[in-house]
Amino acid sequence: MKPILAAFVTILSALLCGPARADLVVSHFPSFAGIACDSSELTCNGSAAIANTSDGTVLRLTPAQFNESGSAFSTSQINLGSGNSFSTFFQFRITNPAGIDPADGITFTLQTVSNTAGGIGGGIGYSGLSPSVAVEFDTFNNGGCDASSSNHVAVDIDGNTCTTNNGDLAVVDGNPICDFSSVNTYTRSGCMSNGDLWSAWIDYNGSALSVALVDGGVNGTLQRPATNIINAFPIDIASILGQNSAFVGFTSGTGAGTENHDVVNWIFSNTFQPINPGGSSGGSGGTAPEPGTSALLLAAAVGLLAVRRRSRRAAR
């Protein structure tokens, strides 16, 4: 962690929680401008790289090329909160699908193996990472393991992307199939490969995991939706990981189908405190942060951006 970032985290920890929460970590990437791919903050693996797009500077996990695998994780393992709890919010955009169909999607992953990338194609850059827990945003139909859906969210465990085993697979916006056919075209609303900016919230309170997801092309705000796509899924992450720390980040893969998989921004807190960039939260499982938390996060982000700008000017 860079010294200035560590200072902001320390200040933010004190403001939020006082001495009892001195171990709080808030990683905030309002964009990936000024972030080196292999640094004290972030380590990229496989095809992952920082890229300039219409969204600004993003984390591109895989380009729209065949048989790619990429990941980006915190360079150091992060100690998680009580019961391995955490909250995270990020936005992603998937573009330029090609090949046999849009493929394959992204995962948000906690793993203890190393900074590495997993399998290509249906492995979504995640297969082979064990012990681990991931939430997959899958854009390709791999048959029975995906409940024959090419547009779903599910929980993965120990590098296994055969998600129907966990009984938590959820189709996105009532669109089980999003492909190159005219009947189920991937370009329509509610298909994760449609090129829209998607917003995702993942929260774990130590015993249950919830995921919320919204298509930015339908709802242009950052307000959390009223219902979760995965709500209070029971899971013991502490037992699965075997420890209370993990590399935290994203994976992606392509195979005979391809697409650009871009993470546009990301906030991660190593405690259960659902993040609401857009204000008031929605219903089931979507509690708002403690009073003042959003303002403090914003202040920290503004401070970080200001410091990065000054650092870049000084370096010229």
Separation CA 312–CA 315 (nearest Å): 5
Handedness of CA 216, 219, 222, 228 (dihedral sign): negative
When pLDDT is cut at 50, 70 and 90, the band that residue 315 belongs to is very low
Residue 26 or 237, more confident = 237
Residue 178 has pLDDT above 70, yes or no: yes
Residue type, 191: C
For position 278, what pLDDT does the model report?
Answer: 62
Separation CA 59–CA 72 (nearest Å): 8
pTM: 0.82
125: number of Cβ within 10 Å: 36
What would the pLDDT profile of 25-81 be if each residue is shown by its tens digit?
888 999 999 999 999 999 999 999 999 999 999 999 999 999 999 999 999 999 998
Cα 19 → chain centroid: 29
For position 167, what pLDDT does the model report?
Answer: 76
Q: What is the mean pLDDT of residues 199-218?
A: 92
239: number of Cβ within 10 Å: 9
Least confident of 152-156, 266-270, 282-286: 282-286
For position 213, what pLDDT does the model report?
Answer: 96
For position 221, what pLDDT does the model report?
Answer: 60
Which domains are assigned to the chain?
31-290 (2.60.120.200)
For position 310, what pLDDT does the model report?
Answer: 44
For position 13, what pLDDT does the model report?
Answer: 41
Q: What are 293's two structure tokens? A: 């938390």
For position 313, what pLDDT does the model report?
Answer: 45
- Whole-number mean pLDDT of the chain? 83
